[in-house]
Amino acid sequence: MRSNVVIALLLAVSGCGKMPAKLIVPPLPKVEIADVPAPATPTIIVEKGSNLRAIATAAYHHESFSGFVGQLNGISKPERLLAGATLKTPSLPVALRDAGLDPQYQPAVNALAKAWTDLVSILPDYILARNDAGTKDGGRFVVPAKIKAALLTCAETIDASTDALSHPQAGHVLPRSAIGKFAGASSSLQRFSQGFVESLDYDTYLVEQEFGMGFTNLLLWVQAHHK
């Protein structure tokens, strides 16, 4: 036992036994509900032949929000979506607020929603730069400075927001599944900013999917009264 203690002390003195540095979480940006771009209309009338994927894309920019739209409107069987039905499609912060989100979490939700809408405007430029560079699967390219900064800003906003959600108030449970999806999106955006490309067909889709599933899981958490 004594020899183990001595070894530990020697490692500490040499620097090998140092505790890992504490991660620095960026400050949560101040985002109001009004700062988040909302869908063109707060409701959508279902057209004949339409489906939740098309409606989610029209309202929230990606089909992966179909679960969010379905959950928000109490649709348990998407295949039975009726033409002429009116579905709610408010902005993401409004949807969660009206579903019963505790005000403590509203700033984090606002910031996550703004990160998503910002990312929607960034990704086309990122994809164009990636394609112009002739990048292949598993390759790497030099990301233009403006795009790189925007990607990193989105990732930092996600990190700050998930950190805020990681400290639920008494009586609430951690929205673990939502945080996991958003954390995955942040990690991907950081890789994008460094020019790493794993799959031309799947990289950006995965991030969009993680956002859609993240917000769907947040909605489920809110509707379950944060349990």
Q: Give the pLDDT confidence score for residue 80 in this predicted structure.
A: 81
Residues 155, 143 contacting (CB under 8 angstroms): no
**Taking residues 62-89, what's their average pLDDT?**
93
The Cα 177–Cα 206 span in angstroms is 16
Q: Give the model confidence (pLDDT) of 107-135 as tens digits.
A: 999 999 999 999 999 999 999 999 999 99
211: helix, strand or coil = helix
Q: Parallel, antiparallel, or unpaired: how do β-strands 43-45 and 86-88 relate? A: antiparallel
Per-residue model confidence (pLDDT) at position 178: 98
Instruction: Name the pLDDT band for 23 (thresholds 50, 70, 90).
Output: low
Query: For residue 82, which amino acid is it?
Result: L
Q: Which amino acid is at 73?
A: N
Amino acid present at 187: S
User: If one looks up domain 39-89 in CATH, what number appears?
Assistant: 3.10.350.10
> How far is C-alpha 135 from the geometric centre of its chain's CA atoms?
25
Task: Give mean pLDDT, residues 169-181.
Answer: 97
